[in-house]
Structure 1
Amino acid sequence: MLKVQEIRELIKLVDQSNIDEFVYEHDGSKIKMKKKTAEAVVVQPAKTVIEEVQAPKAAVQAPVKQEPVVEPAVTESVKETENLHKIVSPMVGTFYQSSSPDAESYVKTGSKVSKDSIVCIVEAMKLFNEIEAEINGEIVEILVSDGQLVEYGQPLFLVKPE
């Protein structure tokens, strides 16, 4: 069976190529990738009906003094998140922090991880896919909750690289 990183590489290669569909079979496993094809969509303008509405007579009000809008200063936390690595979901599925409901979470905020550390599981089509950190560092934030549906490319964790 292919590892998640190998599947990601295949996705990138298929995405960058002129191939519309790709099928890989090995030892009873099958991976099928298909690009979305452009579909012609015919849009007809809707008829617009404009009704004349009379504005109600406004009551005389004292002018409202508007306070100037003050832009908040860029905080240190925003600067820090720019230096963090995002571990993203390689597929659409359900996020799980542990291998079973009564098991300990793979990682918590503050946990040290290495490139091959398993950080979570994403279940897709009844298959449980272990997601690896792919970087050495410390988990700063867990961005999704246990049992939450995640999308392809959605950030799952923020990691402070070592």
Structure 2
Amino acid sequence: MAMDLRKIKKLIELVQESDIAELAITEGEESIRITRYSPMPANVQSSQTPATARVAPLNTQAKQTAVSPSAEGFVQVSPMVGTFYAAAELDDVPLVKVGQKVSQGEVVCIIEAMRMMNPIQAERDGVISAIWAKDGDEVAFDQPLFTLI
């Protein structure tokens, strides 16, 4: 049985109202971790305003990606926690590569979350100048994926 959504919202409120940085709860086979701070490095500008609390499955240990402070351009971040895939199918060529021009709305990668494949679209027109995640990497919410110039 899945955790009650009302209970999860209450836990998020508890974290927001307290001084704790992280809360992990296990209920039967279900686990949840709520963290107050974004795992994204402070020197990266995001297209989204960081939320006060983040929700991620407890068993997801997102790898931190070191972002060069000299990275210029628009940094597109992950809208969710999951597994990054550069191609739509295992043997396909990557959807984008460094130097490729992309248009807003074009699918640039796939993030698998909760066994669902989620196509991630470019948030604006540009040229891919950096790819911050590798195929098969676990990515966190607000983690840099691409830099567009």
TM over 0.5: yes
Q: Secondary structure at the match of 1:38?
A: helix
Partner of 2:62 in structure 1? none
Q: Provide the aligned C-alpha RMSD in A.
A: 2.6
Partner of 1:140 in structure 2? 129
Map residues 30-69 of structure 1 onto 2, 5 A cutoff: 34=9, 36-38=12-14
Q: Deviations over 1:98-153 (max 9, x none)?
A: 01110111000001000011000000000000000111000001001000000000
Partner of 1:150 in structure 2? 139
Letter in 1 for 2:132: L
1:102/1:140 Cα in 2 relative to 1: closer, same or farther (>3 Å)? Answer: same
1:131 has 2:120 as partner: yes
Unaligned runs of 5+ in 1: 1-20, 24-32, 42-76
Partner of 1:121 in structure 2? 110
Greater gyration radius = 1
Partner of 1:159 in structure 2? 148
1:93 has 2:82 as partner: yes
**How big is the shift at 1:93?**
0.1
Higher RCO structure (Cα 8 Å, ≥6 apart):
2
Letter in 1 for 2:12: K
**How big is the shift at 1:78?**
5.3
Q: 1:109 aligns with which of 84, 92, 98?
A: 98
Unaligned runs of 5+ in 2: 20-67
In the superposition, the TM-score normalised over structure 1's length comes to 0.52
Q: Secondary structure at the match of 1:153?
A: coil
Q: Secondary structure at the match of 2:14?
A: coil
Q: Secondary structure at the match of 1:105?
A: coil
In the superposition, the TM-score normalised over structure 2's length comes to 0.56
Question: Distance between the aligned counterparts of 1:88 and 1:102, measured in 2?
Answer: 25
Question: Distance between the aligned counterparts of 1:120 and 1:86, measured in 2?
Answer: 14
Number of residues of Structure 1 aligned to a counterpart in Structure 2: 94
**How big is the shift at 1:37?**
2.6
Question: Distance between the aligned counterparts of 2:128 and 2:77, measured in 1?
Answer: 13
The share of aligned pairs that are identical, in percent, is 41
Q: Deviations over 1:39-62 (max 9, x none)?
A: 678xxxxxxxxxxxxxxxxxxxxx
